[in-house]
Amino acid sequence: MNLLTTKEKAQHHLNGWKLNAIQHFEEKMTNRQHLFPCIPATQAFALSHLRYGFVGHPDDDLTSYELAQVLKEYSENYRHFGKYTTLIVLFKGSHEENITVEEYEQKYWNLLNKVTELDEKRWPEHIPQDPHENEWEFCFHGEPYFMYCATPAHTHRNSRSFPYFMMAITPRWVLQQFNASPDYAAKMKTKIRKRLAAYDHIEAHPELKKYGEDDNYEWKQYFLHDDETALSKCPFHRAQQLMNKKK
């Protein structure tokens, strides 16, 4: 299959909502007046390390299957795309729909729960399956990922705002390379936090912490609320799904 595309191919071969979404994304990554906070993301865009996948509306029955297929293809090839690579998944639908942040949150976790049921490979042994353990992170096709979600409903947290429901899925392999030089990573994170303070209309969410720390839970960073609140319990139910299958 060939479900992934680059920005160059997208600009020449896409039309309709898909082209519109790519154009909005390019504007966000290249805006010089409002610098997107995640510097590695802007570098990945400039270097064409990003890959894009397009799927249906979050409520459509086939969308979870489409998302699983896109992520499978990416999982099998991402190490060839560049050290800053991330998968950008864009969903059909737009800001014209009157959906709240909380409703998008439900759609987001509903999709991840459906996608994990379609996973053809075992969960990596070194990653806990319980999201309430501090070393847990979402895995698919044997690969650990950091998940990011942006929605049209976010207004205060501009870093999580986009005209289309969007996921950015970054391999742990990319983040390990980023953190390989502690001094460089620390300087970069300081710059990112400074840009985040200028970019958003609200302070950084208190759940933005470092992977593996005792008080960090990755799932709380995947979908940030438009305020300082966070869910008390993770809606990801893979561990429970496996227990039910064994009964």
pLDDT at 237: 86
pLDDT at 12: 86
Q: Can you name the residues that pair with 148 across neighbouring β-strands?
A: 168
DSSP 203: P
pLDDT at 241: 54
Per-residue pLDDT of the chain (247 residues; tens, 9 = 90+): 689 999 999 888 899 999 999 999 999 999 999 999 999 999 999 999 999 999 999 999 999 999 999 999 999 999 999 999 999 999 999 777 789 999 999 999 999 999 999 999 999 999 999 999 989 999 999 999 999 999 999 999 999 999 999 999 999 999 988 888 888 888 999 999 999 999 999 999 998 877 767 778 899 999 999 999 999 999 998 755 554 454 4
Give the containing element (helix H, strand E) for 178: helix 172-178
The sign of the CA dihedral 132, 212, 218, 116 is negative
Task: Catalogue the long-range contacts made by 224-233 (C-beta closer than 8 Å, 24 or more residues apart).
Answer: 224/157, 224/160, 225/101, 225/102, 225/105, 225/157, 226/101, 226/153, 226/154, 226/155, 226/156, 226/157, 226/160, 226/202, 227/156, 227/202, 228/202, 228/203, 230/205, 230/206, 231/105, 233/132
The residue extents of the domains of the chain are 7-246
Classify residue 139 by burial, with Cβ atoms within 10 Å: 0-12, 13-18, 19+.
buried
Do residues 156 and 201 make contact, with C-beta atoms less than 8 angstroms apart?
Answer: yes
> How far is Cα 76 from Cα 79, in angstroms, rounded to an integer?
8
User: Which 3 state secondary structure label does DSSP give 146?
Assistant: strand
Backbone angles phi, psi at 33, to 5 degrees: -80, -35
pLDDT at 239: 55
pTM here is 0.94
> How far is Cα 27 from Cα 183, in angstroms, rounded to an integer?
31
Cα distances (Å, whole numbers) of residue 241 to 63, 90, 137, 214: 20, 27, 17, 26
pLDDT at 126: 94
pLDDT at 122: 94
pLDDT at 91: 97
Nearest one of 161, 146, 147, 148 to 200, comparing CA atoms: 161
Cα distances (Å, whole numbers) of residue 46 to 84, 126, 159: 10, 33, 18
